[in-house]
Structure formats: structure tokens, C-alpha cells
Structure 1
Amino acid sequence: MANEATAQTQTEVPDMALSDLLLELNKFLPDSVLPAWQLVSQHPFLGSLLIALAFYVLGVCFRSLLTKIIGQVIGLSRSPVDDRALQYLHRPVFITVFFFGLSLAVTVLNIRLGNVLVNVLFSLITTSWMTAAIKISTLLLEALSRESRFKLVDSKTVPLFDLTSKLVIIMIGSYILLLIWGINPVGWLASAGIAGLAVGFAAKDTLANLFSGFFIVADAPYKIGDYINLDTGERGKVCAIGLRSTRLLTRDDVEITIPNGVIANAKIINESGGPQNVRIRIVVGVAYGSDVDQVGELLLKAGMEHPEVCESPEPRVRLRGFGASSLDFNLMCWIRHPQDRGRISHDLNVSIYKLFAEHNIEIPYAKQDVYIKQWPASST
């Protein structure tokens, strides 16, 4: 009997609260609307339907107000970036107003799972704002990193800021979702801290690669398209930079995946990181007695006639030293792409050899002279 009385009391409280609310609203409504309002108060389903329709119209009006009036007053419609930001806000603004009205409609109906439905609606509102915030943060970073007079964010650090902003938005949204469902976030945070320690010990190599990826993106020792050499022997063109690994494409068209933890601690030679083109050096020796002026002219001719050698800076020739059996010359040329170093060096070596042969310039090589002091005596 006590349970039946308690249940009866629990069912009567919402009805009394709802009736009191309706009586209070009757005081503020005009006389022409009272008959319709009394009909609604007697039929909760009809009242909830009218509330949903009213908030749907209100949501459409708020969306139009945000697009037209606020955009014109603040002057955001002049920029395409701001127009896109307003478009991203259309959906969450409409969902917020409409779903809030649906929650009121569910409350008026006073159904058994009303609280659960209300929590679901507020969770959808939070999710819509999280999605819009992520899109707007990405849009703002793109706008701030563009080449302009007032560039605030370096384009190399955009992926780092983008990931950080998304993580912050997701954490804040998750915290709000926990509050909506009545879950204590403090207990979850404590549990997450203990689980984080366990995961950190179990996946320390993965976390090391992850943090190294952050530092590589922030420090930017290389970028996609650069040609780099590592002290571990890898050499190739950077084709992808991830948070866990970096991929290189070698001259053999083989892709190498290197963990960021390894590459962050390696000595990196970035052949594409200089202020201008890449210099190559051709070392050649000529015999003593050769005309050094003629040798210099032929070497310059070989460099200037190659179509892929840069005209500025011009090729240069230097006599570097006097070897044991040769005069050591260097032909220095500049090329545009580091990956063409081997092929262009081959072309220059072939051209130099032909020019030297044409002008009878000797390229010394190791020789041995054998002297026979005495022929052995004949056995006959």
C-alpha cells in the first residue's frame, strides 16, 4: 500500500506542476487565445505537437537572422571565410532551438522515458556544436596561415594546431556529455589517469613516435617534396609526414617508412633546404704539362652546354691542388633538383671525357714500368 501511495504521489506531482504552469500562463494570454490554450491544456499530445512546430519555426527564424541580420551588421558577408563560418553555424543553431523545443514537448507529454529522450536531445545539440567548432577551427587556421601581409600562423605548424584544437574541442564536448547524462567526470578522469599510465608503459615506443611527430611538424626540418639524407644511410624524397612515421621514396622507387622516434634523433641533411639550387662537384685530374687555361675552358664548356645546369650561378672551375701524378680540377655546377645529381654528373663526366680526347688532353692513370736487368741464361 505504501508503494502504491508513493507511485500515486510521483505521478500526481508532474500533473500538478503542469497544471500550475498552465494556470500561470493563462494570466498572460489574451482573451482571444484562451479557448485554444484551454484545448491544448486538456490534450497534452496536441500541446507538445504545437510546441514542436513553434520551435521549428523559431529555429528557422534564428537561422535566417544569423545569416542575414548579424552578417550584415558585423560585415562578415564580405569575406568568403566568414560566409563559410556562418554556414557551419546554421545547423547547430537550428538544432539547438528545435531540439530544445522537442525537449519541452517531451516534458509536457510526461512519458515514461522522457528523461532519457531529453538527454538524447541535449547530447545531439552538444554533438552538433562540437562538429561545427571543429570545422570552424580548421577554417580559421587555413585563413590565418595564408600568405598575406598579416600572417599569424606558419603553414608548417598548421597540422599541429589543427590536431590540438580538435583534441581540446572533443575533450570539452565529452565533459559536457558526461554532465548531461549525470556521470561524475572526476571519477572518469581519475580512472583515465590510471589507465593512461598503463597504456604509457605498454606503448612507450608508439608514444615516443607520436611526440616526435609533433616536434617534427613544429620544428619543420624538412617538408613534403624535400630530398634528405640521414646518417643511418637512408636517402630519398619525402613523400609523407605523419604523426607516427615519415615515408621516403628512394631513387630505386622504393618507399621507406621510418619511425619519427628514429628520424628525430638522426642527423638530417636536407639537400632541398638551401636558399637556392643544389651544387654538384665534378673532380677530374689532368697530366702535368697540360695547358691549364685550355683545361679550364673545356670544363666550363661542358658545364654551360648541359641544358639542366643553371645559368645563375654560372658554372665555375677551380684548380684545387697538385696530386702525385695529376693536376686536380673541380667543375662546380648548380642544378635545380637534388634527385638529378647522379644523372647530370654522368652526363658531365661523359662530355668532359669526349672534350679531353678531342683536344688531346691526357687524363693520367696508374702506370707501372717493368725493367729487366738481365735475361736468364739459356739452358742450351
Structure 2
Amino acid sequence: MTESLKVWWFKLTSHAWLGPLAIIFTYLVIAKIVDLTFKKVLRRLVKRTSFSTDDELLQFFHWPVVLNVVLLGPLHAIYEINPGGRIEFIATNLIKSIIVLIWMITAFRLVRWITKRKSYFAERFGHLGADMLILLKNVAYVIIFLTGTLVLLSLWQINITPLLASAGIVGVAVALAARETLANFFGGISLFLDRTYKVGDYIILDSGERGEVVDVGIRSTRIRTRDDIIITIPNSIMANSKIINESAPEPRFRLRLPVGVAYGSDLEKVEKVLLDLVKDAPYVEKFPEPRIRYRNFGDSSIDLELLCWVDHPRHKGPATHALIKRIHERFAEEGITIPFPQRDVHLYPAEKADDQN
């Protein structure tokens, strides 16, 4: 049965006109099978998943794959006929060009679909993520267009060497003219990939400025200081600077408040009063628990630090303000002295001083 089928197929495909038609018909059947596989099998599989990304990707590749199989039929038939010369060159390259255009359009649609998820990238990476996504979309469009164009030109045997040489010269000229812009651009990419900071984080720069990141663009980063002054720094500088991110890895911020008490104070009582007053202080987190650490013996006081966590670096100032007021009030109520630097001066009468000399 198998041998007879092979013989029948060979005779059919050897026919001048029935052979190519049989090949085209066979590819149409295969295309229909692929179509049903996408609709009946793969679609059921992707519906079992909890996310919708695979459903959308299946729709993107469904018809390009089916059309690709359909177009392989005429291409195969032309090779079987083997007309030779210019007719075969034009016919085969025309079909190949249509296949290339189909996949170029599919690639464009895929990039457009990814960029529609701008809010997702903005939520995860801030404004830089959204801006970078738009930039990468344009870069991807250019790459797809240039790649498809080069493939089409090579199919039609058009010499692209002069075009590549011209493109190289233009690229060098653009790179020299926009080297600062390119430095900022690649600095923005490095910040994006490293996720050094994002919008809303509080950072401290090498120069000492501290503020909230309000915008991270492709060219520069802007921070707002506590004086409501906007500082704009090029990304090339930010990428090569030491940056302290007070909001990472957790948004809470550790507050260190130095306190001094007199040498005659009851240190156990001091510790108990401080831990009691910080419990319900504004902006102070209950976990990790506040603690007291005695640091050293000062000239006029025993020096200690009140260590606690505030919910966000922006509340460092208000939390410090509230704690200082509470400490001053409670120490006055509990009779705990906050000493200040002082010096004892002993005065001797002149005669007594002469006797001592």
C-alpha cells in the first residue's frame, strides 16, 4: 500500500500541471492542519494558564505561520517545474519577499504590543522605564526595517556595499557630533539596568545634596531637595558617581538621634523613659523595635543614641523634630538633666596666690 502510494504520488507530481497543483493543494491541507492546531489544541492549552500574555502571543503568530505554510506551496511548485531563467528568479523571489514582509509586519505588531504595556514598566522601573520603552520601540522599528530591507535587497541580488559604506560614514559623523548625548543615553541605560534608584526614592549625591527623585529621563535625572529646589544631573554623571539610596532596599529609614545626660543620671531610668516616649511618636515604626545605645563618656555628659526606624526618608525631619520636643518635655518631668558644656573656673585672692607661688 505504501509503495503504491509513493508510485502514485510520483506520477502525479511528475505531471506538467497536475504535479504543481497537487503540491499547492498539499500545502493548503497542511496549512489547514496548522490552523486547526492553533485553534483547537494550542488555544486550549494557553487558556489553562493564569495570565493572558500567552493568549495574545498565540494570536500574533497564528496567521503568519499559516500564511507562511500556504506560500511555501507555490514556492515548492516552482522549484518542481524548474522553469529556469528570469521567470524562476522573479517568481521565487516574489514569494520570498512576501514571506519577509509578513514577518516584518508581525515583528512591528509584536513591538507595538509590548510598548502598550507602558504602565507596567513605569510601575516597576519608574518614568525611566516608560521612556526607555518608547526609545527601545523606535530602535526596534529601525532594526526591523533595516534588517528586512537588507534581506529583500539580498534576495533581489542588489549590491548593498555602497549603502553600508555610506551608513558607516553617517554613523561616525553622528557619533562625533552627539557624543555627550550618547554618553547620557548609555548612562540612562546603565541606571535602568542596575535599578540604582527610581522615582520617589531619597538619594544623597557625591556632592552632599539630598533629595527625592522626581524624574528619571533618558538624558538626565531630577531631584527635589527639602528646600523645594530642583537639581538636574546628566545621567552620564549619575552613572559614574557614588549614590546613597536611603529608600533601598526598604523604604523605611533608620534615624539616629544623639542625646546627652548628666553623669549623675540613672541610666536605667533614662533608657526606660526614652523607649516609652518613642512608642507612639509620629512616623516611627514599631518594628524593628527602637533601642538605646550608650556610645561614650563625653566632656560634660554620657552620650547615647536613640535608634529607631521611620516609615519613609521624607519623614526624617518631622520625626526628629517631634522626638526632640518629647525628650525635652519628658526629661524635665522626670528630673533628668541634659547637660551643656561648662567649665569650672577657680579664682584665688592675689595674696594667697603669691603665697602659693
Interval of TM-score (by shorter of Structure 1 and Structure 2):
0.5 to 0.7
2:180 counterpart (199, 205, 210): 205
Could you tell me the percent identity over the aligned residues?
A: 40
The structural deviation recorded for 1:190 is 1.8
| Structure 1: gaps spanning 5 or more residues | 1-23, 30-57, 98-117, 146-153, 376-380
Partner of 1:175: 147
1:258-302, Cα deviation, whole Å (9 max, x unpaired): 211111111111112245832111111122212222211121122
Partners of 2:242 and 2:220 in 1: CA distance: 16
Partners of 2:292 and 2:113 in 1: CA distance: 57
Partner of 2:38: 70
Partners of 1:66 and 1:96 in 2: CA distance: 11
The structural deviation recorded for 1:175 is 3.3
Partners of 1:26 and 1:91 in 2: CA distance: 28
Q: 1:231 to 1:84 in 2, by over 3 A?
A: same
2:110 counterpart (117, 133, 141): 133
Partners of 1:338 and 1:83 in 2: CA distance: 42
The structural deviation recorded for 1:306 is 0.9
Aligned partners of 2:200 and 2:212 also within 8 Å = yes
Per the alignment, in what secondary structure is the counterpart of residue 191 of structure 1? helix
Q: 1:93 to 1:82 in 2, by over 3 A?
A: same
1:256 counterpart (231, 236, 240): 231
Partners of 2:305 and 2:225 in 1: CA distance: 28
The structural deviation recorded for 1:227 is 1.8
Asked if 1:227 corresponds to 2:227, the answer is no
The structural deviation recorded for 1:187 is 2.3
Partner of 2:211: 236
Aligned partners of 1:134 and 1:166 also within 8 Å = no
Per the alignment, in what secondary structure is the counterpart of residue 204 of structure 2? strand
Q: Between Structure 1 and Structure 2, how many residues are aligned? A: 292
Matches within 5 A, 1:1-380: 69-74=37-42, 75-79=45-49, 80-88=52-60, 128-135=105-112, 167-168=139-140, 170-177=142-149, 180=152, 184-274=159-249, 277-367=252-342
Per the alignment, in what secondary structure is the counterpart of residue 316 of structure 2? helix
Partners of 2:228 and 2:288 in 1: CA distance: 31
The structural deviation recorded for 1:88 is 4.1
Q: 1:94 to 1:87 in 2, by over 3 A?
A: same
The structural deviation recorded for 1:344 is 0.2
Per the alignment, in what secondary structure is the counterpart of residue 305 of structure 1? coil
The structural deviation recorded for 1:128 is 2.8
Partners of 1:26 and 1:221 in 2: CA distance: 67
Per the alignment, in what secondary structure is the counterpart of residue 272 of structure 1? coil
| Structure 2: gaps spanning 5 or more residues | 1-15, 22-27, 70-93, 351-357
- AA matched with 1:173: F
- AA matched with 1:73: V
Per the alignment, in what secondary structure is the counterpart of residue 252 of structure 1? coil
Partners of 1:365 and 1:373 in 2: CA distance: 26
Q: 1:341 to 1:374 in 2, by over 3 A?
A: same
The alignment yields a C-alpha RMSD, in angstroms, of 4.5
Aligned partners of 2:295 and 2:304 also within 8 Å = yes
Partners of 1:265 and 1:229 in 2: CA distance: 14
Partner of 2:72: none
- AA matched with 1:85: L
1:43-82, Cα deviation, whole Å (9 max, x unpaired): xxxxxxxxxxxxxxx9xxx9x9987651322234445223
